[in-house]
Structure 1
Amino acid sequence: MKAALQNYHVRMQRVLDHIDRNLDGDLDLDALSGVAAFSKFHFHRQFTATFGLSVHRYVQLARMKRASHRLAYMDAQGVTDIAMDAGYDAPDAFARAFRRRFGQSPSSFRKSPDWEPWLAAFGPLDNARSKLMQKTFTIDDVTIRDVPPTTVAIMEHRGDPATLGLTIQRFIAWRKAAGLHPKTNPTFNVWRSERCPASPADYSVDLCVGTDRPIEVNGEQIKAGEIPGGRCAVLRVVGNTDNLEPAALYLYRDWLPASGEEARDFPIYCQRLSFFPEVPEHEAVAELFLPLK
């Protein structure tokens, strides 16, 4: 029974990966049931029973999530192109669907996104993905590295995590203006609080870009800093890198006590190696660093 269930989940996972990889392509019921190697007469009910939403709804949400990321973070791409990539025949149809879901037009969202309705809208998609995307880690997934110190420019986010998207927008705009592309200058997040503190106002994370250039301190927006060098336990995470809390908990709960190591006095942080929507969501990669004495 266990092997059969695992095989069933692998086939369903194959469908989710196929959707991620082919958001611009043909994702009708016949095509997706073929990917899973299930009968098309039953697949839609199997999918709904497994994920809690229909195939059509899942594909709609996945396309809309990519579209919203492109609107917020990729200003070189026009709204019309984004609408077509999301599966709409005309920008007007896309705008109506977007406003219905998020309470903003695409152009308004691009200028000043309201992230709370956005987070609520994608709750069903995130819940569906998490049903089969629970990652399990082992001691073999963790390596210990001697990490060199990295000079960074820092944009701090302090306060409600629901507004983090606005800080990310400002960070991306600043690094574009400064010519610090992710392919040439590494991207880090340094967490200075829990992911879900008792008070949202206590949430704290630093958005960082590595650079050897002199950093002009820009009021409260940009600060110069350093990620210190030293030994680190490193855990690589592939897919669904929006939430690295399960990986962090594994390091603290399982790996650290069993390793005999001791954590150093610097927060846990990550380096983001590839990003959604530049790559399909299941191919996004991040490495989590736990500093050690």
Structure 2
Amino acid sequence: MIHKETLEQRIKRVCDFISHNLDEQLDLAELSEVAALSRFHFHRVFLAYTGVSVTKFVQLARLKRASFQLAFESTTKIIDIALAAQFDSAEAFSRAFKRTFSQTPSQFRQTPNWPNWYQVLDFTLPVLSDAALDVEIIDFPQTPIAYLTHCGDPKKVYTTAGNFVAWRKQSRCSPVKSCRTFGMPNGDPNTMDEEDFRLKICGSLLPKLHEVEPNSFGVKAGVIPAMRCAKATHIGSHDTLENTIYALYQQWLPQSGEQLGEHNCFFEYLNLIHEVNECDLRTDVFLPLG
């Protein structure tokens, strides 16, 4: 019996294709071929499954990438970000960006309105995952870190991340290129009150540098203790990170015979959101074991 591909699978394939080809010219004819649908049906099916037109989806994907570049790459010129987003001029880019996020690129670079940004990008994407979870049990070593704690609204965490990046650029004791980057939440933001949420944004310290000088950012020194962990690698957007986390708790753990440790799960960001396209993000999820 031949398996018939669902419409949801076809739209997911198109979304993945777009994410991997943001630097290319993408037109309706090509994308409808990727979906194996006529152009007439493709446009309507895509809108039905995502809530936005395919043209709007492509532009939003490019503007989303541009917003990370604006926020975290302060030395990159706006015109270069505009051209990378497939705009012919900084003016056209600025108009589209302001129309989308209610801030000009310069305003967003200075003071990003992340809650509004999340609201704009809050549309439905097909989530299909047939891949088996690849889990490895490891001994995580004690790791000295510098950290900055985000408190409250998870939708403002990029503001704290930006401050931590700025500190790293100034301090030189936890450079991004040669030190590891971690996220350590105090729990699941989906199951707690907004004001109770905490996330430590961390960078490992260079060898022999286990202290952090007083600074205006509020960055402090700490340690991730040694512990035994289950590790799985999440590939793709941080917005879908919970899929891998829940799979560890709900699927792998009951079958493993292992017991949970006292520490909350935490993450290592193997690459950063402003460095690669979202589809190429790689994040290790660590589940501490007893």
- Structure 2 vs 1, CA of residues 166 and 123 (structure 1 numbering), >3 Å: closer, same or farther? same
Indicate the residue corresponding to 2:59 in structure 1. Answer: 60
TM-score (ref. length: structure 2): 0.90
Q: Secondary structure at the match of 2:190?
A: coil
Equivalent residue number for residue 290 of structure 1: 287
**Within 2, Cα distance between the matches of 1:112 and 1:165?**
11
How far apart, in 2, do the equivalents of 1:28 and 1:251 lie?
38
1:204 aligns with 2:198: yes
Q: Distance in 2 between matches of 1:22 and 1:14?
A: 12
Alignment of 1:1-293 (within 5 A): 3-6=3-6, 9-124=8-123, 127-128=124-125, 131=126, 133-135=127-129, 138=132, 141-179=134-172, 180-211=174-205, 212=207, 213-218=209-214, 221-293=218-290
Map Cα deviations across residues 143-171 of structure 1 (whole Å, 9 max, x no partner).
21112111111111111212211101101
Q: Secondary structure at the match of 1:207?
A: strand
AA aligned opposite 2:147: I
Gaps of 5+ in 2: none
Name the SS of the counterpart of 2:283 in structure 1: strand
CA contact 1:196–1:203 (8 Å) conserved in 2: no
Query: 1:40 and 1:74 mapped to 2: Cα distance?
Result: 38
Structure 1 residue 217: deviation in Å?
4.0
**Cα distance change, pair 44–145 in 1 and its aligned pair in 2 (3 A):** same
Q: What is the SS of the residue equivalent to 2:239? A: coil
Aligned equivalents of 1:244 and 1:100: distance in 2?
A: 29
Q: Which runs of 5+ in 1 are unaligned?
A: none
Cα contact 2:16–2:279 (8 A) shared by 1: yes
The change in CA–CA distance for 1:251 and 1:137 in structure 2 (over 3 A counts) is farther
For residue 120 of structure 1, report the CA deviation from its aligned partner. 0.5
2:13–2:35: 8 Å Cα contact kept in structure 1? Answer: yes
Q: Report runs of 4+ in structure 1 exceeding 6 Å deviation.
A: none
TM-score, structure 1 as length reference: 0.89
Moved more, 101-110 or 244-253: 244-253
